[in-house]
């Protein structure tokens, strides 16, 4: 049965919950990256509460979310310059208007796709990023170690990795070290499971 992602978001509103704590860590990672108007994309954006309140005026952002109710919430919270796409974040096409992006969010993605898709997505990130562009990502539990390895193998420097000892969530920040690559329309990155 398909997961109820609207209900999944309810945990954000429980003070001290794992998701509420993860949100604060993600926002702390984003703040220094959003020090001026930026080009931002968010894959599987949910209701966008991590990035939308932090976007400096003049930013351009594309948030891609499959669930129409969550996309509608994101749309409501979105300032000017933000496009919310209700659709498949696993293919590059919706990112075309904002690529190359300076900041990419992949939060709540890598734990829900096969490892091969995680590898394919990270390998393709240089086609979505501007020079020195940064990715903020999350992954629960032991799988985060694999994600860090894949970033390292694909020319990214690790700027931060947060692993609170009393929580399962992990949050990483990786910056593209090598030159970016041209945007590739129609490229399949991942399929959500
Ligand atoms: C674990 S939640 C993460 C949401 C948000 N990024 C966050 O961290 O709060 C995963 C989200 O991916 C969305 N999703 C699932 N399949 C998707 C797809 N193919 N394209 C876009 N979004 C998708 C779900 O509806 C859900 O909102």
The domain ranges of the chain are 5-176
Cα gap 78→83, rounded to integer Å: 8
Ligand 1 atom 18: the closest Cα is on which residue? Answer: 88
Nearest-atom number in ligand 1 for the CA of 26 is 8
Which residues 6+ apart lie within 8 Å of 193 measured at CB? 112, 113, 114
Mean pLDDT of 47-73: 98
Name the average pLDDT for the chain.
Answer: 97
From 108, 172, 189, 190, mutation site for ligand 1 pocket: most ligand atoms within 8 A of C-beta: 108
Q: What is the pLDDT of residue 47?
A: 98
| 45 CA closest ligand 1 atom index | 6
Question: Does the beta carbon of 52 lie inside 6 Å of ligand 1?
Answer: no
DSSP H helical ranges for 44-153: 68-77, 115-124, 143-153
Is 107's pLDDT higher than 90?
yes
Q: What is the CATH number of domain 5-176?
A: 3.40.50.150
pLDDT tens readout for residues 110-153: 999 999 999 999 999 999 999 999 999 999 988 999 999 999 99
Read off the DSSP letter of residue 188.
Answer: B
The pLDDT score that the predictor gives to residue 1 is 58
Q: How far is CA 23 from CA 8, 50, 99, 159, 186, in A?
A: 13, 6, 25, 18, 31
Which residue, chain included where needed, has tokens 């409501």?
A: 76
């Amino acid at each position: 049965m398909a997961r109820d992602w609207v209900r999944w978001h309810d945990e954000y509103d429980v003070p001290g919950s794992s998701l509420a704590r993860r949100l604060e860590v993600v926002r702390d990672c984003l703040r220094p990256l959003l020090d001026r108007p930026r080009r931002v994309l968010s894959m599987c954006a949910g209701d966008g509460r991590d990035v939308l309140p932090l976007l400096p005026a003049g930013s351009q952002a594309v948030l891609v979310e499959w669930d129409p109710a969550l996309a509608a919430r994101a749309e409501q919270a979105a300032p000017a310059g933000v496009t919310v796409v209700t659709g498949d974040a696993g293919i590059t096409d919706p990112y075309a208007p904002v690529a190359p992006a300076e900041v990419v969010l992949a939060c709540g993605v890598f734990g829900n796709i096969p490892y091969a898709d995680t590898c394919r997505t990270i390998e393709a990130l240089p086609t979505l990023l501007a020079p020195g562009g940064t990715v903020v990502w999350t992954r629960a539990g032991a799988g985060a170690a694999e994600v860090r390895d894949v970033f390292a193998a694909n020319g990214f420097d690790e700027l931060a990795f947060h692993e609170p000892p009393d929580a399962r969530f992990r949050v990483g920040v990786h910056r593209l070290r090598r030159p970016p690559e041209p945007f590739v329309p129609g490229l399949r990155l991942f399929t959500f499971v």
